[in-house]
Structure 1
Amino acid sequence: MKACIINISCVFMALISWGQQPDMQQVAKLEDVIEAIVADNEDANVEQLLDDLQAFREAPLNINQCQRADLERLYFLSPVQIDHLLTYRQQYGPILTPFELAQVDGFTRQLIGWLQLFVVFGSAEASKRFFPTRQEILLRAIRQIELQKGYKEPRKYQGSPEKLYLRYRFSSSTVRAGLTAEKDAGESFFSGANPEGFDYYSAFAIIGLKDDQHQLFLGDYLARFGQGLVAWQGFSLAKSAEVNQVARFGQGLRTYSSTDENNYLRGLGAAFHWGNFGWSPFVSYKKFDANREQRAEETVFTSFQSSGLHRTANEIEDKNSVSALTIGTNLTYTFQRFSLGVTGVYNRYGLALDRREADYNRFLFEGRQLTTVGANYQWGVSRYYFYGEAAWSGSKGFAFIQGVEGQLADELELSLLYRSIGKKYNAPLGSGFTENSRLNDEQGLYLGATVEPLANVSVKLYADLFSHQWIKYTTVAPAKGAEYLLQVNYQLNDEWEIYGRYFYEEKPVKSKGADFQFNLEQQREKWRVHLSGAIADRYLLRSRLEWINYQHEEQSKGWLVFQDFGWRSKANNCSAWFRVAYFYTDDYDSRIYTYENDLLYQFAVPAFYGKGMRFYLNGKVKICEKIDFWMKLARSWFIGVDTIGTGYSQLDANSRTEVKFQLRFKF
């Protein structure tokens, strides 16, 4: 039976000419993965996602050796798809070629193409998850050519306009370690507020004990448990074109290597495993950016500063101005397709949090210490996957998430998620599936579906209904909203694909009137058509047209069109991407987000508004086996304006130019 399946799958794959792809096409596929997951989420920590996926590209999983936890870290695989893959492997033995994946339930051509980027095939001994010893040094410099107002006299920015980045990574069979250093544009370097050099340093080490059965975390790390109600830091899944990717896999403690200067833990953690039980204790003490104020005889902080920028005197004053002590633990029991976990986190600030008086702050946490406790579960039954978490916080708030995902038929996969986050619920480390970025005061129901009515056609759609019992910063009364997405993909042939997308959102937003404010329905519609394909293996083309209609107190419209050209050399040691784009929108309300190709470990989804053009040229050269070089030149022209930006970021010009350089050494 096994041989028969392989023979059939090989014939099928031969018909669609699915072979090993050059590096540039693999990179293009990787970008498709990331854009599909991130969508227009400008707040997503994409850097951490890129780091995770690139690690798998350079040290791929052996598809016949990896466990469920390994596959869960790929983000684009749903729980049901992972179950189908592991069941197939158990029933039919090792998966010898990528062609065979076509026989796994729920594995489409697109999904298999993505998975090929991160896995290898063959026996368990054919590849190892980590090489005996591997080191990497990465250097990056970014500069905006035109000077912003903050660099001119009277000068407000202390440092130079360059953004500098240094990264070192070491890995062996038992130890992984890393160092990250960054200076943002405008921050001082070996002077002023930073006599030691960079403005930001981060380091980590993870030590494997007893053949990696237990792990010790030192330095900077992340905590990710359950569905994120108690503890989830770094990148998290949200609503996107990958409509069934809403369930979260508790990844436990993870090393931290991003440049987000606030959302991580610093200290000591461990992950112990005894049979079906796992225990992860952790402790952290670190300082973070905040606004401090003197209240009567006490100094308090009124808000968190998350930009990570320390250019001006005020920004420098807020840097590391408050400390946080965090103590937490997680205990998990796992048996086959079932797991049950309990997580507890205690958080204590060095100063009391005393938010500024405002109605929207009424139920948000204030004080110095807060405890949060939650219980979560996962349970796979046949072709269904159930998951959920319930949590309580010391601010007398409750939160609950319950979801189910099912493969109702070979051509139909559904996801259903309900969340109820109390208005008194607060979790300093939490980040759950919500409409708002803050984990507080939200009830919602999400339904996502993927349908494959024909062999070359897939339809993805979701609907999300949500409400808030109390006012938000953007509202003056309790509100309800809805969001919908429909995307149709069509595989024209082996090389070309086209998709169309429609997005609609409506939610109340307060009016802009100064005398009397009220909630007014805000509506946003977006249409997109995207075409991509390859010509003779060495050339790639991507074309997009997008249109937006925004309605609040006034109507605002806009559109954008771009054309990408990709090229690689015959030897596959050089590659380049070129884009030319034109955008025309009425104002910022009708802004359009679009993905841009960038340097390794970089990802850009800028917002375009006004009228203008943009182009960029992004290239990579493999100097030798151990040295790679990247460069990007980008320029934007804005029509009918004399200045760009506001405040200290203002440019006295109608164009903006940016250059980026990056070198990587591997040894």
Structure 2
Amino acid sequence: MYTTTRILCTFVLSLSFFNVKAQEDSLIKDIIESFAENLSDDYDLSELTERLNYYRKRPIDLNQTKPEELKDLIFLSPLQISNFFNHMKINGKLLDILELQGIEGFDLQTITHLMLFTIVKAPLPISEMSYKELVKKGQNDLIFRYGRLIQTQKGFKDLPGSRYLGTPDKLLLRYRYTYSNTLSASLVAEKDAGEHLTNNKTGVDHLSGNVAFYKLGRVKKLVLGDYSLQFGQGLALWSGFAFGKGPDVTSVASKDLGLRPYSSSNEASFFRGIAGTVNLAQNIDINTFISLRKRDASLKTSAGRTTLQNIGISGLHRTKTELKNQRSLEQFIYGGVLQYTTNNLSLGLVAYQSAYQHEFVTGASLYNKYAFTGKKLTNTGFHYSYTFKNIYFYGETAHSLTTGWAVVNGAMASLSKQVSAVLLHRNYDRDYHSFFSNGVGEGTEINNEKGWYAGLNYAPSKQWTFSVYGDYFKFPWLKYRVDSASSGYETLGQVAYTPIKTFKALVRYKREIKPQNANAGSNYPYLLDVSKENYRIECNWQLNKRLGFQQRAELVHYKKGTIDEVGYLVYQDINYRPLSSKLTGNIRLAYFNTPSYNSRVYAYEDDVLYGSGFGVYSGKGTRTFANIRWRVLRKMDVWGRYAIFLYKDVDKIGSGLDEIEGNKKSDFKIQVRYQF
């Protein structure tokens, strides 16, 4: 360790008087990290954190809930949800949440998580509330966040060519009103670093909002404004957040949430218009939607004809080029989903069309041979789920008209109170197309892939939990940086030991083998196997009601041809909670050493409320961050965050317009939340 490590250690000790978030926050962190491990490092997790915190503040009444509501609780598998409603049908309403122990598949960990987000008492329906009561009893949540990188990036300097035209400040304003689960409204305004707060083309750089009504007679849901759609297993129609392979093997069965109002700051994954869910008859619903919005796109004009190759999803409008691409493509979508749902059986038919202002064309690369071309795309799909005794069957078949198909089928079973298993098969044609899909797969898009997945959870006692899965996949056609048909596999094994409620130890091993072209400049004509192995040891323990710790050591072994790298990360989280204190907080001290970005290590980082995400540890150096929450008033909280990377043996950080001179990269955030 070098001098900066001593400085950081002193900083840790000086903050020992700070609180941590409550134990509930620690459980929410564990839930998010275990399910979101395979997401990209820039994925917006605010939708997930907001969802869990919403139900912690406004818990679900288990005696009044519906399957679509329980699907919001990501740690519940579809089989557990089905078993719950079968239990309610036979035994009637719950008197106590601990009755869940008698339901097949509900282990101690699941029940512990449920106790954070559920109750057995229902609020009054909206039909029995006056306007004044809605205003008085409704929940208003107003958040303002400011943040920025302290060092000056190259793009903010006075450069002769491309540069960032806006300020380095990051701003977020979010307002949300809710009354129980019957009425909601939200508004989100955001500005990223490098952007102007407003511009002549769009006004506020990003503005999103909606009003949602529930339980209006036969109209179960009605959303005006921005919304998301999630149906089936994500092959035909799915926007927003979705999970894939993870330590909990049941996560490969998607829990479709249907129509939802959209309140994330992500600027790409939503629809804009009107959508509703109407009950046609007993157990039969129809979802209809229409959306018209402008999308970011890179356009090319030649001989009076304008074409495009892809749609931008970053939401960044910092340079002249990015501003030129902003909202340059009109997107019109309309369609419907017909669903039949009972406690044990769910069937759904999807049909919708996407129409674009300009025509898609493929690039010259051979791997783009089967990419989508044209202005219009019609997608259809059929999805199902059925519970027979202790087995949950599920799947989806999707078709992009005039081109290919995508099919996934799976089964999940509680083999005993200790053992649950999942088996899944997928087959995605190389010419299947959907602009709104997010299913299980190794590729970033749902096409050109076949595979088998098998997983097992085993809990022989309350203290021990074992998880293992294997996934074999192959790609019949070429891919980016893979100039031939190819195949690979991924395996994971994990052991968790929890002898008491305040202590948990975990060991994990993960290996992935995927082929790839040789590196640029190499004359090697064949594909090379890229091997990546992860080894993790982790310990979480609560010393007392005030003090808690988390330690992790993770090693990554990356190998491709003659390149053989080993990177590692070691960190210590300290959580401290003085009794009756208005000030709470947590801190991390980490050391990392990776030869290159290939052997990088990901680790979840605590942040201000709704600001959580994954840190990317690459290079050699130390990392620390501190989060503070101060309850100023009963209805007002203030968060503060400071984070810093200190790299060794470098004089520049990053590349391109994001380049920073020196070996230090630090940022801070301030967030104010007022609830009334």
TM-score of the pair, normalised by structure 2: 0.92
Name 1:204's counterpart in structure 2: 210
Equivalent residue runs for 1:137-216 within 5 Å? 137-154=142-159, 156-172=163-179, 174-190=182-198, 196=203, 198-208=204-214, 210-211=216-217, 213-216=219-222
Name 1:534's counterpart in structure 2: 542
- Identity among equivalent pairs (%): 32
- Aligned with 2:660: secondary structure? coil
Considering Cα pairs closer than 8 Å and 6+ residues apart, tell me whether 1 or 2 has the greater RCO. 2
The code of the aligned residue for 1:282 comes to F
Name 1:404's counterpart in structure 2: 411
Q: 1:101 to 1:521 in 2, by over 3 A?
A: same
Find the partner of 2:230 among 224, 241, 266: 224
Name 1:4's counterpart in structure 2: none
Preserved contact between residue 44 and residue 613 of structure 2 (Cα < 8 Å): no
Preserved contact between residue 383 and residue 408 of structure 1 (Cα < 8 Å): yes
1:126 deviates by 9.7
Preserved contact between residue 21 and residue 586 of structure 2 (Cα < 8 Å): no
The code of the aligned residue for 1:235 comes to F
The answer for unaligned runs of 5 or more in structure 1 is 1-21
Find the partner of 1:596 among 597, 600, 605: 605
- Whether 1:449 aligns to 2:456 is yes
Name 1:310's counterpart in structure 2: 317
Name 2:7's counterpart in structure 1: none
Q: 1:50 to 1:646 in 2, by over 3 A?
A: same
Name 2:580's counterpart in structure 1: 571
- Whether 1:239 aligns to 2:248 is no
1:151 deviates by 0.7
The answer for unaligned runs of 5 or more in structure 2 is 1-19
- Aligned with 2:323: secondary structure? helix
Equivalent residue runs for 1:379-398 within 5 Å? 379-398=386-405
Counterpart CA distance in 1 for 2:125 and 2:374 is 52
The superposition leaves residues 308-355 of structure 1 with CA deviations (integer Å, 9 ceiling, x where unpaired) of 111111111111111111111000112331121100110110000113
1:63 deviates by 1.9
Equivalent residue runs for 1:226-305 within 5 Å? 226-273=232-279, 274-305=281-312
Preserved contact between residue 473 and residue 489 of structure 2 (Cα < 8 Å): yes
Find the partner of 2:472 among 465, 470, 478: 465
Counterpart CA distance in 1 for 2:461 and 2:339 is 42
The superposition leaves residues 57-104 of structure 1 with CA deviations (integer Å, 9 ceiling, x where unpaired) of 111101222122211121110122123333334444443444443333
Counterpart CA distance in 1 for 2:30 and 2:559 is 30
Name 1:12's counterpart in structure 2: none
Instruction: Give the number of equivalent residue pairs.
Output: 643
Name 2:675's counterpart in structure 1: 666
Find the partner of 1:31 among 8, 29, 32: 29
1:211 deviates by 4.9
Preserved contact between residue 229 and residue 259 of structure 2 (Cα < 8 Å): yes
Counterpart CA distance in 1 for 2:593 and 2:333 is 48
The superposition leaves residues 454-513 of structure 1 with CA deviations (integer Å, 9 ceiling, x where unpaired) of 331000111111111101002010110100010100013221000100000001011113
Q: 1:339 to 1:656 in 2, by over 3 A?
A: same
Range with greater deviation from structure 2 (584-593 or 622-631): 622-631
Counterpart CA distance in 1 for 2:272 and 2:222 is 13
Name 1:341's counterpart in structure 2: 348
Equivalent residue runs for 1:74-113 within 5 Å? 74-113=73-112
The superposition leaves residues 425-477 of structure 1 with CA deviations (integer Å, 9 ceiling, x where unpaired) of 00111221111111111101111110012331000111111111101002010
Counterpart CA distance in 2 for 1:212 and 1:29 is 37
Counterpart CA distance in 1 for 2:587 and 2:341 is 49
Find the partner of 1:556 among 539, 550, 565: 565
Q: Once superposed, what is the RMSD of the aligned Cα atoms?
A: 2.0
Find the partner of 1:440 among 447, 451, 460: 447
Equivalent residue runs for 1:624-635 within 5 Å? 624-635=633-644
Range with greater deviation from structure 2 (498-507 or 82-91): 82-91
- Aligned with 2:653: secondary structure? coil
The superposition leaves residues 595-640 of structure 1 with CA deviations (integer Å, 9 ceiling, x where unpaired) of 1111111112121111100011101111222111111111110000
Find the partner of 1:614 among 602, 615, 623: 623
TM-score of the pair, normalised by structure 1: 0.93
The superposition leaves residues 553-610 of structure 1 with CA deviations (integer Å, 9 ceiling, x where unpaired) of 3111111100000012311532110100000111111000001111111112121111
The code of the aligned residue for 2:607 comes to D
Find the partner of 2:666 among 649, 652, 657: 657
Q: 1:548 to 1:209 in 2, by over 3 A?
A: closer
- Whether 1:587 aligns to 2:596 is yes
- Whether 1:375 aligns to 2:379 is no
1:195 deviates by 8.0
1:395 deviates by 4.1
Counterpart CA distance in 2 for 1:527 and 1:337 is 40
- Aligned with 1:576: secondary structure? strand
- Aligned with 1:605: secondary structure? strand
1:260 deviates by 1.7
Range with greater deviation from structure 2 (154-163 or 37-46): 37-46
Preserved contact between residue 86 and residue 343 of structure 2 (Cα < 8 Å): no
Name 2:45's counterpart in structure 1: 46
Counterpart CA distance in 2 for 1:601 and 1:144 is 19
Counterpart CA distance in 2 for 1:195 and 1:331 is 36
Counterpart CA distance in 2 for 1:247 and 1:31 is 21
Counterpart CA distance in 2 for 1:326 and 1:126 is 36
Counterpart CA distance in 1 for 2:340 and 2:101 is 33
Counterpart CA distance in 1 for 2:72 and 2:453 is 23
Name 1:521's counterpart in structure 2: 529
Counterpart CA distance in 2 for 1:464 and 1:82 is 25
Q: 1:228 to 1:318 in 2, by over 3 A?
A: same
Counterpart CA distance in 2 for 1:164 and 1:208 is 31
The code of the aligned residue for 1:571 comes to S
Counterpart CA distance in 2 for 1:103 and 1:127 is 30
Counterpart CA distance in 2 for 1:51 and 1:397 is 36
Preserved contact between residue 379 and residue 386 of structure 1 (Cα < 8 Å): yes
